[in-house]
Amino acid sequence: MKMMRVNLLLMTLLGGMYGWSQPANDGCNQAIPLCPSVSISASNQSATSTVCPDCEDDFTFCFSGDNTTWFTFQTNTTGGTVSVDFSNLNFVVQANRGNLLQATILEATVPCDASSYTAIGNCEIGAGANFSLVAAGLLPSTTYYVVVNGALNGGATLPAEASFDVIASGTGIDRIPAGMSITGPSTNLCPNEAVTFLANVSNCTDTTDFEWYVNGVLAATTTGSFWQTSSIQDGDLVTLECSCFTDCPQALTAQSGPYAVENLFVDAGPDQSITSGQSVVLSGTTNGVTYLWSPASTIASPTSLQTIALPQTTTTYFLTSSSLNCTLSDEVIITITDQFIIPGSFSPNDDGVNDTWTIKGIDLYPNAKVTIYDRWGQEVFDVVGYSASKSWDATHNGRKVTDGTFYYIIDLRDPGYDEPFKGFVTVIR
């Protein structure tokens, strides 16, 4: 067990009547934190004591608990001397009520278990308007308790009750003020530029989540110390808020900005639908100095805002514009509505019309594999690179097949199509 010391001071002050309700810190488990150099007002009016072996009030370091109130503080990372100062004492004046306020500092190896308490310092008795408990050599990062009790002095049958102010300070509890700043991007940004903001926190432990605000509106909450976004607009101001320390939290705030965003815009125009073989007008707008359409292979003039495109398949075109150090792109989708059509029948009667099974658009897939089976599952046709010159004419090994329904499997062998097409085609002469 650690070597512990007690500093107990018994103080007495007479004063006027003062009324209050039962204190919230009536027991050790409800002890109120004493924050570094922050004065709080308290009292022991209507406080009670827990009577049982090893309970929180079961100790006799200079006094036995009658109506105890509890406070707690944690030393800093270096430890040292802590002074707990009491002032503005105001006692309840009542017949048979004591007029002595008692206080002591404890450490517990088991929180709120009286069998583990050790007192710090010597027992002292005194009287005065103000008094202090001073404990030297306190351990670093350790929780201590301050117990305040009303005495049954001078033959009193009722323990003393008083209001008071209390504050804890000293080298063992005072903190180096925590600080926070933001490392952000250059204040000159491009539209939609992806940027990262980093929180730099010093002298801070037990950090809460980081809350990132843009112009006062919460934009993100992060558990880590960085935030990535591409939504910064011209004039935006970024504010970061978080809190340090579980006990006696310290709120931190930092700002970055305002940001200037280059006034560059680009619009590739609305999406369009066309039929296979049809051309389309691409009409873009931008205030950029240079601009370029891509992919350029099916565009008449890639460096013109208004130009003609002849896509063979559904295509996404990008208009990219540049100004100063910024580049911005927008896209337009041109959809081919009938680019691939599988007919359900054909009539190979040598009249020059519909004599072969013509699959519209399949020539756009040069590696397409087409396999056809008769009603008994026998393969009657198979080819890779199905086209007008390799289309099925309703023959098998040079002989005409009988009229009827045949089963086909068409595998385009294209990344845009995960599954082959399957179905039936009817031969009608």
Encode pLDDT of 123-134 as tens digits: 555 445 688 889
174, part of any domain: no
Q: What is the pLDDT of residue 227?
A: 97
Q: Are residues 152 and 71 in the same domain?
A: yes
107, part of any domain: yes
- 292: how many CB neighbours lie within 10 A of its CB? 16
Q: Are residues 217 and 279 in the same domain?
A: no
Specify whether the CB–CB gap between 142 and 72 falls below 8 A: no
Write the CB contacts of 311 (distance below 8 Å, at least 6 apart in sequence).
Answer: 274, 280, 298, 334, 336
Q: What is the pLDDT of residue 15?
A: 35
350, part of any domain: yes
What is the end-to-end Cα distance of the chain in Å, rounded?
104
Write the CB contacts of 263 (distance below 8 Å, at least 6 apart in sequence).
Answer: 234, 287
Q: Is 363 left (phi over 0), alpha (psi -120 to 50) or beta?
A: alpha
**Residues in the chain where the model's pLDDT stays below 70:** 1-22, 49-62, 64-65, 121-129, 338-339, 416
Taking the C-alpha atoms of residue 199 and residue 220, their distance in angstroms, rounded to an integer, is: 13
Q: Are residues 251 and 280 in the same domain?
A: no
Q: Which residues of 227-243 are buried (b: 16+ CB within 10 A; e: fewer)?
A: bebeebeeebebbbbbb
Write the CB contacts of 335 (distance below 8 Å, at least 6 apart in sequence).
Answer: 271, 272, 273, 274, 314
Q: Are residues 87 and 138 in the same domain?
A: yes
Taking the C-alpha atoms of residue 371 and residue 386, their distance in angstroms, rounded to an integer, is: 10
Q: Are residues 190 and 69 in the same domain?
A: no
Q: List the structure tokens of 89.
A: 């004492």
Taking the C-alpha atoms of residue 370 and residue 386, their distance in angstroms, rounded to an integer, is: 7
Q: Are residues 320 and 370 in the same domain?
A: no
Q: Are residues 12 and 157 in the same domain?
A: yes
Answer with the one of 298, 319, 336 that is the final residue of a domain.
336
42, part of any domain: yes
Specify whether the CB–CB gap between 97 and 156 falls below 8 A: yes
Which residues face 135 on adjacent strands? 82
275, part of any domain: yes
Which residues face 250 on adjacent strands? 244
Taking the C-alpha atoms of residue 142 and residue 107, their distance in angstroms, rounded to an integer, is: 9
Q: Which residues of 113-135 are buried (b: 16+ CB within 10 A; e: fewer)?
A: ebebbbbbbeebeeeeeebbbeb
The torsion defined by the Cα of 112, 116, 118 and 124, in degrees rounded to 10, comes to 60
* Residue count of the chain: 429
Specify whether the CB–CB gap between 81 and 135 falls below 8 A: yes
Q: Are residues 21 and 94 in the same domain?
A: yes
Answer with the one of 292, 319, 336 that is the final residue of a domain.
336
Q: Are residues 46 and 106 in the same domain?
A: yes
Q: Which amino acid is at 347?
A: S
Specify whether the CB–CB gap between 184 and 256 falls below 8 A: yes
Answer with the one of 232, 261, 290 that is the final residue of a domain.
261
Q: What is the pLDDT of residue 6?
A: 36
Q: Which residues of 2-14 are buried (b: 16+ CB within 10 A; e: fewer)?
A: eebebbbbbbbbe
Taking the C-alpha atoms of residue 72 and residue 78, their distance in angstroms, rounded to an integer, is: 18
Number of folded domains that form the chain:
4
Q: Are residues 332 and 357 in the same domain?
A: no
Q: List the structure tokens of 252.
A: 């931190």
Specify whether the CB–CB gap between 258 and 343 falls below 8 A: no
Q: What is the pLDDT of residue 110?
A: 87
Q: Are residues 147 and 13 in the same domain?
A: yes
Q: Which residues of 62-78 are buried (b: 16+ CB within 10 A; e: fewer)?
A: bbbbbbbbbbbbbbbee
Give the phi and the psi of residue 332 in degrees, each rounded to 5.
-135, 135
Q: What is the pLDDT of residue 278?
A: 83
Specify whether the CB–CB gap between 343 and 424 falls below 8 A: no
Q: Are residues 317 and 392 in the same domain?
A: no
Range of the domain at 418: 345-427
* 3-state secondary structure at position 9: strand
Taking the C-alpha atoms of residue 132 and residue 121, their distance in angstroms, rounded to an integer, is: 13
Specify whether the CB–CB gap between 248 and 36 falls below 8 A: yes
Q: Domain containing 191 — which CATH number?
A: 2.60.40.10
